C-alpha cells in the first residue's frame, strides 16, 4: 500500500497567481461627460476618503490599545488600603464640637435664610402669549356664537308671533253667520298689536 503524500510534496503544482486588484466602480461605466459623471466621481472620491479615514483610525486605536496594555502591565501593584485615618480627618474628629448657634446668633447669613424663604422666578411657560391670544379668540368666538343664537331665537319667536297674528286676523275677518265681520275677535288681535308696538 502506498504511503500518503505530505503537504510539502505538492511543490510540483504551480502556485495560484493572484489577480491584480482592479479597484471598484461606482455607477454605470458608459456615462457621458457632464453632471452625472462628475457626481459619480465625487461619490467615489468620498468613499475612498472615508475608507482611508477608517483605516487610519483603526491603526491609531490599535496603537493606543497597545500603549495602554504596556503601561498597565508596567504599573507597580498597589498596596492594600490601610485602616489608619488621614491626618487632616483625624484632626477634624479630635477638635471639640461647637454648639449650634440659634437664630439670633452672630451668623446673620444663615438666620436670614431661615427666616425668609427664597423667592424663585416663576417657571417660564412656553407659548404663554399665544395661549392668552388663543383663549381671547375663543371667548370672542363663543360670544359671537351666543349672540347669533339669541338673534336667531328672537327671529323665530317674531315669525311665530306674526304667523299667529296673521291667522287670528284671518279668522276674525271671515264672516259670521250672516256675513258680518267678528269685531270682538278682531279687536283682541288689534289690541295685542298696539300693546306690542307701544312696548317696543
Report pLDDT digits (tens) over 155-175.
Answer: 999 999 889 888 888 877 777
User: Mean pLDDT across the chain, nearest whole number?
Assistant: 80
The predicted pLDDT at position 136 comes to: 96
Verdict on whether the full-model pTM lies above 0.85: no
C-alpha cell read off for 8: 510539502
When pLDDT is averaged across residues 5-12 and rounded to a whole number, the result is: 60
- Tell me the C-alpha to C-alpha distance, in Å, between residue 58 and each of 38, 54, 78, 140: 30, 6, 32, 67
The string of DSSP letters for 89-128 reads HHHHHHSPPPPPP-TTSS-HHHHHHHHSPPP-PPPPPTTH
**CA separation for the pair 45, 37 (Å, rounded):** 12
Tell me what pLDDT residue 9 has.
54
What is the structure's pLDDT at 100? Answer: 57
CA distance 111 to 105: 8
Q: How far is CA 107 from CA 113, 117, 118, 146, in A?
A: 11, 17, 18, 64
The pLDDT confidence band at residue 127, using thresholds 50, 70 and 90, is: confident
35 or 20: which leads in pLDDT? 35
H or E stretch covering 71: helix 35-74
Amino acid at each position: 500500500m502506498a504511503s500518503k503524500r505530505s503537504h510539502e510534496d505538492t511543490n510540483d503544482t504551480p502556485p495560484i497567481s493572484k489577480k491584480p486588484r482592479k479597484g471598484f466602480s461606482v455607477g454605470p461605466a458608459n456615462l457621458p461627460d457632464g453632471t452625472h459623471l462628475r457626481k459619480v466621481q465625487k461619490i467615489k472620491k468620498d468613499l475612498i476618503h472615508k475608507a482611508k479615514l477608517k483605516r487610519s483610525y483603526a491603526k491609531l486605536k490599535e496603537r493606543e490599545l497597545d500603549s495602554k496594555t504596556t503601561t498597565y502591565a508596567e504599573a507597580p501593584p498597589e498596596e492594600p488600603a490601610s485602616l489608619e485615618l488621614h491626618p487632616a480627618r483625624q484632626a477634624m474628629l479630635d477638635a471639640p464640637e461647637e454648639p449650634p448657634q440659634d437664630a439670633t446668633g452672630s451668623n446673620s447669613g444663615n438666620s436670614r435664610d431661615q427666616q425668609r424663604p427664597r423667592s424663585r422666578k416663576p417657571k417660564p411657560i412656553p407659548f404663554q402669549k399665544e395661549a392668552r391670544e388663543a383663549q381671547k379668540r375663543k371667548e370672542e368666538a363663543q360670544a359671537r356664537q351666543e349672540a347669533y343664537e339669541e338673534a336667531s331665537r328672537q327671529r323665530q319667536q317674531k315669525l311665530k308671533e306674526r304667523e299667529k297674528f296673521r291667522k287670528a286676523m284671518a279668522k276674525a275677518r271671515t264672516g259670521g253667520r250672516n256675513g258680518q265681520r267678528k269685531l270682538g275677535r278682531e279687536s283682541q288681535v288689534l289690541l295685542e298689536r298696539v300693546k306690542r308696538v307701544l312696548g317696543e
